[in-house]
Structure 1
């Protein structure tokens, strides 16, 4: 049984996306009882101080994300050094640059980080390839060492993830430049077509085997648009034909019993698009499945 204190860290950022509603994800999930849901499973759960992007102190959107990433990385690293397990609640997915830089820095003295990236998108643009210049499309490239110093070189070093230590699951909406970068780096990408063909369970288990092979700890970053909009419509960029919630929950339950599962991040929840709270309920079920020991969580009826 996982006895570590679970610390929730609000990543209050929407500046990385064209729709900034994800900035209000943490207070909305807090109000909808995410701590109570996790506590009911038997985990000791606390709230850390939220980390908030401050656009008025920045020269542009990327600058705001770079400063935010540094502070989020420090909060995540401190949580781990305090012996707690972090659950980062975003926020647009630019938060991943800070979240996983903090985890990688914590693990660096003993080994490398592995990461499963569930997302409808590849998030592998750089400022040189992105037409929109939206930083939430850049965090995976940054963690692999490509992009601006403020996202890719936190703590003064690049390559928080090695290409063979990360697997993307569920991609189905992306641009050629992103696919070309990940292909050139030989990053394993399991498109949604592959997930539908092989099943989410088979793909996730294969990904888990890969990201734990040469690493000392691994994590999961879950963009809610990786799910099918039928189960999680409240995101800024929903994409049809995604992973079904009922398929994801029993598979994610295996994470909680793995002592090398160090952290989790939930991104792109947009409460301004979540009419009726349907997506918030899905988010609570997902984190409870992945972080709480015991029997697999069952999906609620739609």
Structure 2
């Protein structure tokens, strides 16, 4: 991203909670603001505009247990709105920071960044930090929860309501995507990952090679994209001891320092065009610990260093 956009940040909250099965993530944006997100970004020398939260229209019905993509129509409508807002932020020369909500919103946020650069014929890269692959489709999902589908949708797989947010598909070429931190992958996702050749840095590889080497390679992959890259971070990528406030915790995640190292390397590399933090569940959090860490990681991605 350009230095000018780097210094002008726009914060957008997307308090959507019906892509998953547990209440609490809709308060994630508020929890991050409570941790003084805006003031602390300003402390790094940025001009900050908080656009507030999108108004989310909640479904007035309960999805059937066997629905293969629960609340798809409503989630698609939110994602279209998110994509439009993110495009507007970029057109204003600002850097978007998107606060979730559950991870289904990424089908909209990434679409917004990708479509902005699509108009300039520049493909976008993507770093996806997550314990889960998020590459299910309505055919492979074990739950029907759409927050497990956005990455597949960005590659053009799954329900058209998700794949064609912003009017076209796919948004991301798998060659320009790096997934970091996976440790819980469904069988159908595994098959699609292999078919597309998406580069996954699993926790096993991170354990063996170290976070620094894995992030260096991930950044080489996404930096090949002419437009730069979007970064989306699901807090369940972190170890539950450091980030208890997630409804989808999986033991053995990134440590506090590994997560900061990843964000610091992203800041040093340059090229980040948007940043997103999702899935902070305030009901499960302890003294806003996860939101505090979320803010710290955003600051590291924006260039905060120890010295």
- Length-normalised TM-score, structure 2: 0.92
Q: 2:41 matched to 1:38? A: yes
* 2:235 equivalent to 1:188: no
Alignment correspondent of 1:4? 7
Question: Which residue matches 2:31?
Answer: 28
* Distance in 1 separating the partners of 2:8 and 2:31: 22
Out of 235, 242, 260, the position equivalent to 1:231 is: 242
Is 1:100 aligned to residue 110 of structure 2? yes
2:281 paired residue number: 270
Q: Deviations over 1:43-84 (max 9, x none)?
A: 111111422431236885111111111001111111001100
Q: What is the aligned counterpart of 1:217 among 194, 219, 228? A: 228
**C-alpha separation in 1, matches of 2:306 and 2:262:** 8
CA distance in 2, matches of 1:48, 1:163: 31
Cα deviation code 1:191-249 (max 9, x no counterpart): 11111111111111100101111332212111100011111110111110111111221
Structure 1 counterpart of 2:67 = none
Structure 1 segments (4+ residues) deviating >6 Å: none
Q: Would the aligned equivalents of 2:83 and 2:166 in 1 still touch at CA under 8 Å?
A: no
Partner of 2:209: 198
Is residue 137 of structure 2 the alignment partner of residue 129 of structure 1?
A: no
Contact 2:236-2:246 at 8 Å conserved across structures: yes
After TM superposition, give the deviation of residue 272 of structure 1 in Å: 1.2
Structure 1 length-normalised TM: 0.93
* TM-superposed deviation, 1:139: 0.2
Q: CA RMSD in A?
A: 1.7
Deviation track 1:148-179 (CA, whole Å, cap 9, x = no partner) reads: 12211112211100111111111001211011
Q: Which residue of 2 aligns with 1:68?
A: 78
Q: Distance in 1 between matches of 2:150 and 2:305?
A: 33
Q: How does 1:142-181 map to 2 (within 5 A)?
A: 142-181=153-192
SS in 1 for 2:137: coil
Shift in Å, 1:100: 0.2
Give me the whole-angstrom Cα distance separating, in 2, the residues matched to 1:14 and 1:277. Answer: 18
